[in-house]
C-alpha cells in the first residue's frame, strides 16, 4: 500500500488539471475517418473475413483432399483422416492467431503502429499465394500453411489496429472511433458470407480463388495506409518526436483543434518519463494493475464463452425447423451476419452518449434473457408451429445483444484501461486470452452441446450474469476520460476495496 500511495502522490500534480475545460472535438474529421478505414480494411476485416470464408468451400476442399490422396497413394482417404486434415486446416487459424497476438505488441513498439500494420500484410499475401497454389500443385499441405499465416495476420491485426485507432482518436470520440475494430470484424464476416454464395465464388471450381481473395484487403491497405501519419502518442511518448506528433495531430484533427489532445499526451508523457514500454510479465508483477488485468481476463474470456458460438451452431437447425429450405439457409446465415454488422454500427453511434458500462452491462443482461427464452423455445420446438419462429427471433435477438454490448465494447475497454507504456503488453495478454479461449471453446464445445443439448444455454446464462455483475461493481465508466484519469479511478477503487478488507484470495494471488 505504501508503494501505491507514493505513486498516486506523483500523479496528483498532473491529475489536478484534468478538469480544466479544453476544446473537445465532437465531430470526426474526414482525415480521421479515412485513417480508421485504412487501418481496418487490412486489419480486423481480415480476421472476420477469414473466419467466414472457410465455411463455404467445405465440401469442395474435402473433395480436393480426397482426390489428391487417391492420386498419391492409389487409395481413397479414410473418413477419420479426412476429418483430421480438414479440422487441422480450420483450427490452425487459431494457433496462428495466438502466435500473432504474442508478437503483435512487441512489433508495435519496435516498428510503430502503422509500420506493424503495413508489415502484417506480408502474411496475408503469402497466405493467399500458398492457398491459391495448393490446387494447381495438388498439395493440400499448402492450405494448412496458408491458414496458419492468415491466423498470424489476424492475431497481429486484432492486437495492433485497436492500438492505432485508439491512439489517433480524440478523447471525446475515442469510443466511437474504436468501434471501427468491431465494425470491420463484422463487416469481414458479412463480406465472407456474401462472397461465399454460389452466385459469386461459392461454386466448387472457384474455391482456390475464394481462399486467395484474402490478398485484396492487404493490397488495399498497402496502397492507402502509407499516406496517413503514425500514432501521435507513439511519436511523442515512445519516440520523443514532438514535431512529428504535432504534425500528426494537426493532420488528424485540424490545425486549430488538436491542442487539447496534445496537452493530454504531454501529461501522459510526463508520467512515463524514464519508463520503458513494458513486457506482459511486467504487468503481472505490477500490483497497481491488478484490477485492470483481472478485468482483461474476465471480459476477453467471456467474449468467447458467452454463447455466441452456440447461437451460430444452432442457427441452421433453427432455420430448418422454421421451414426455410436447405438451399436457402446460406442466405438466412447472411442475414445473421448483416444483423451483427448493423448492431456494431449502432453501437458506434450510441457509445459516446450512453457510455461503455451501460452498453456492455445491458448487452450481457439481454443475452442472459435470450438464453432463458432460447432454452425454453428449443425444449418445446415441436410442440407448436409458432415455436420455431420464437427460436429464430431468439437467434437474432442474441446476436443484436452481443453486437451492442460485448462485441463492441470489449476492445475499447482494453485500450482505455492502460496507459501508453502498458498498452501493447496488455493487448498481447488480451489477444493470447482471446485466441486460447477461441481454441478451447472449439475443442470442448461439441462435447458441451452433445452432453447438455439445448440446456447448454443455461451455462451461458450463468456466465453472462456473472460478467454483468462483475462489470457493474468493478469497472468504472471510461467515457470522455483521459487514460491517466481512468488509471487513477482503478487505483482508487483498489484502495477502497483493500480498506474494506474485501480482497479475495484470487486477487491476492494476482498481485504476487
User: For residue range 418-434, what is the model confidence (pLDDT) as tens digits?
Assistant: 888 888 889 899 888 98
The predicted pLDDT at position 500 comes to 60
Angle between helices 44-52 and 215-224 (to 10 degrees): 170
Nine-digit cell string for 499? 480498506
Residue 484 has pLDDT above 90, yes or no: no
Residue 259 has pLDDT above 60, yes or no: yes
Q: Higher pLDDT residue, 15 or 488? A: 488
User: How distant, in Å, are the alpha carbons of 15, 176, 325, 391, 413 from that of 262?
Assistant: 16, 20, 58, 51, 22
pLDDT average, residue stretch 218-233: 95
Angle between helices 356-379 and 308-321 (to 10 degrees): 40
**Coil, helix or strand at residue 254:** coil
Residue 14 has pLDDT above 90, yes or no: no
The predicted pLDDT at position 64 comes to 93
- Cα gap 177→166, rounded to integer Å: 7
Q: How crowded is the C-beta side of 464, counted as CA atoms within 13 Å?
A: 27
Q: Which residues contact 420 (CB under 8 A, 6 or more apart)?
A: 167, 233, 234, 237, 238, 268, 269, 272, 277, 483
pLDDT average, residue stretch 108-123: 94
The predicted pLDDT at position 45 comes to 94
The predicted pLDDT at position 467 comes to 94
Rounded to the nearest 5 degrees, what angle is found at the Cα of 146, between the Cα atoms of 141 and 149? 130
Residue 35 has pLDDT above 80, yes or no: yes
Residue 472 has pLDDT above 90, yes or no: yes
- Cα gap 226→34, rounded to integer Å: 12
Contact 324, 332 (CB under 8 A): yes
Render pLDDT for 170-222 as a digit per residue (tens, 0 to 9): 888 888 888 888 899 999 999 998 998 888 988 888 999 999 999 999 999 99
Contact 306, 463 (CB under 8 A): yes
Residue 407 has pLDDT above 80, yes or no: yes
Q: For residue 295, how many other CB atoms are within 10 A of its CB?
A: 18
Q: Higher pLDDT residue, 323 or 291? A: 291
The predicted pLDDT at position 361 comes to 94
Q: What are phi and psi for residue 18, nearest 5 degrees?
A: -65, -30
Residue 441 has pLDDT above 80, yes or no: no
Nearest to 429 by CA among 327, 328, 301: 301
Q: Higher pLDDT residue, 148 or 276? A: 148
The predicted pLDDT at position 332 comes to 83
- Cα gap 306→85, rounded to integer Å: 29
Return the percentage of the chain with pLDDT > 90, whole number: 34
- Cα gap 99→103, rounded to integer Å: 7
Residue 375 has pLDDT above 80, yes or no: yes
- Cα gap 309→399, rounded to integer Å: 10
Q: For residue 78, how many other CB atoms are within 10 A of its CB?
A: 10
Residue 24 has pLDDT above 60, yes or no: no
Residue 15 has pLDDT above 80, yes or no: no
Nearest to 65 by CA among 79, 56, 77: 77
Residue 374 has pLDDT above 60, yes or no: yes
The predicted pLDDT at position 18 comes to 43
Contact 117, 169 (CB under 8 A): no
- Cα gap 168→270, rounded to integer Å: 19
Kindly indicate the confidence band of residue 270, based on its pLDDT and cuts at 50, 70 and 90. confident
pTM above 0.95, yes or no: no
Kindly indicate the confidence band of residue 498, based on its pLDDT and cuts at 50, 70 and 90. low
Kindly indicate the confidence band of residue 390, based on its pLDDT and cuts at 50, 70 and 90. confident
Contact 174, 416 (CB under 8 A): yes
Residue 11 has pLDDT above 70, yes or no: no
The predicted pLDDT at position 509 comes to 38
Nine-digit cell string for 429? 495478454
Q: How crowded is the C-beta side of 83, counted as CA atoms within 13 Å?
A: 3
User: How distant, in Å, are the alpha carbons of 363, 394, 410 from that of 144?
Assistant: 36, 36, 30
The predicted pLDDT at position 88 comes to 87
Residue 349 has pLDDT above 60, yes or no: yes
The predicted pLDDT at position 495 comes to 61
Contact 108, 163 (CB under 8 A): yes
Percent of the chain as helix, strand, coil, to the nearest 5: 80, 0, 20
The predicted pLDDT at position 1 comes to 43
Q: Given CA atoms 219, 220, 223, 227 in this order, what sign does their dihedral have?
A: negative
- Cα gap 506→294, rounded to integer Å: 9
The predicted pLDDT at position 464 comes to 93
Q: For residue 325, how many other CB atoms are within 10 A of its CB?
A: 10
Question: What average pLDDT is seen over the chain?
Answer: 84
Asked which of 105-114, 145-154, 380-389, 405-414 is least confident by mean pLDDT, the reply is 380-389
Amino acid at each position: 500500500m505504501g508503494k501505491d500511495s507514493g505513486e498516486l502522490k506523483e500523479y496528483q500534480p498532473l491529475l489536478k488539471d484534468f478538469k480544466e475545460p479544453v476544446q473537445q472535438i465532437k465531430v470526426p474529421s474526414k482525415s480521421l475517418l479515412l485513417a480508421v478505414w485504412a487501418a481496418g480494411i487490412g486489419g480486423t476485416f481480415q480476421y472476420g473475413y477469414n473466419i467466414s470464408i472457410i465455411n463455404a468451400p467445405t465440401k469442395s476442399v474435402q473433395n480436393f483432399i480426397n482426390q489428391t490422396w487417391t492420386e498419391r497413394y492409389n487409395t481413397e482417404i479414410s473418413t477419420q483422416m479426412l476429418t483430421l486434415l480438414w479440422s487441422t486446416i480450420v483450427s490452425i487459424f487459431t494457433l496462428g492467431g495466438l502466435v500473432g497476438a504474442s508478437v503483435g505488441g512487441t512489433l508495435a513498439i519496435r516498428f510503430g503502429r502503422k509500420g506493424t500494420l503495413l508489415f502484417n500484410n506480408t502474411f496475408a499475401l503469402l497466405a493467399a499465394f500458398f492457398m491459391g497454389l495448393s490446387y494447381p500443385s495438388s498439395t493440400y499441405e499448402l492450405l494448412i500453411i496458408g491458414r496458419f499465416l492468415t491466423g498470424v495476420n489476424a492475431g497481429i491485426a486484432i492486437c495492433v489496429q485497436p492500438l492505432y485507432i485508439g491512439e489517433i482518436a480524440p478523447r471525446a470520440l475515442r469510443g466511437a472511433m474504436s468501434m471501427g475494430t468491431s465494425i470491420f470484424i463484422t463487416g469481414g464476416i458479412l463480406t465472407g458470407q456474401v462472397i461465399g454464395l454460389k452466385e459469386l465464388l461459392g461454386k466448387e471450381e472457384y474455391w482456390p480463388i475464394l481462399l486467395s481473395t484474402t490478398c485484396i484487403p492487404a493490397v488495399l491497405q498497402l496502397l492507402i495506409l502509407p499516406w496517413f501519419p503514425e500514432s501521435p502518442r507513439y511519436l511523442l511518448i515512445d519516440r520523443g518526436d514532438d514535431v512529428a506528433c504535432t504534425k500528426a495531430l494537426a493532420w488528424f484533427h485540424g490545425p486549430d483543434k488538436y491542442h487539447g489532445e496534445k496537452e493530454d499526451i504531454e501529461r501522459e508523457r510526463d508520467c512515463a518519463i524514464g519508463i520503458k514500454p513494458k513486457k506482459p510479465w511486467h504487468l503481472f508483477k505490477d500490483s497497481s494493475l491488478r484490477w485492470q488485468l483481472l478485468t482483461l481476463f474476465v471480459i476477453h474470456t467471456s467474449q468467447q464463452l458467452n454463447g455466441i458460438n452456440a447461437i451460430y451452431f444452432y442457427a441452421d437447425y433453427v432455420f430448418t425447423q422454421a421451414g426455410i429450405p436447405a438451399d436457402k439457409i446460406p442466405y438466412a446465415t447472411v442475414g445473421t451476419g448483416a444483423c451483427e454488422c448493423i448492431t456494431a454500427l449502432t453501437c458506434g453511434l450510441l457509445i459516446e452518449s450512453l457510455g461503455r458500462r451501460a452498453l456492455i452491462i445491458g448487452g450481457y443482461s439481454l443475452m442472459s434473457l435470450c438464453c432463458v427464452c432460447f432454452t425454453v423455445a428449443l425444449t418445446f420446438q415441436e410442440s407448436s408451429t409458432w415455436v420455431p419462429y420464437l427460436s429464430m427471433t431468439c437467434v437474432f435477438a442474441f446476436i443484436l445483444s452481443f453486437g451492442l454490448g460485448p462485441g463492441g465494447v470489449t476492445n475499447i475497454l482494453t485500450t482505455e484501461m492502460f496507459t501508453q507504456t502498458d498498452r501493447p503488453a496488455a493487448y498481447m495478454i488480451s489477444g493470447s486470452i482471446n485466441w486460447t479461449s477461441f481454441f478451447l471453446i472449439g475443442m470442448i464445445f461439441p462435447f458441451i452441446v452433445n452432453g447438455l443439448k439445448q440446456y447448454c444455454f443455461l451455462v451461458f446464462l450463468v456466465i453472462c450474469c456473472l460478467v454483468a455483475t462483475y462489470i457493474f461493481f468493478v469497472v468504472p465508466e471510461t467515457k470522455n476520460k483521459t487514460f491517466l484519469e481512468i488509471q487513477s479511478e482503478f487505483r482508487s477503487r483498489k484502495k477502497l476495496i483493500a480498506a474494506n478488507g474485501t480482497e479475495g484470495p484470487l486477487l491476492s494471488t494476482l498481485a504476487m
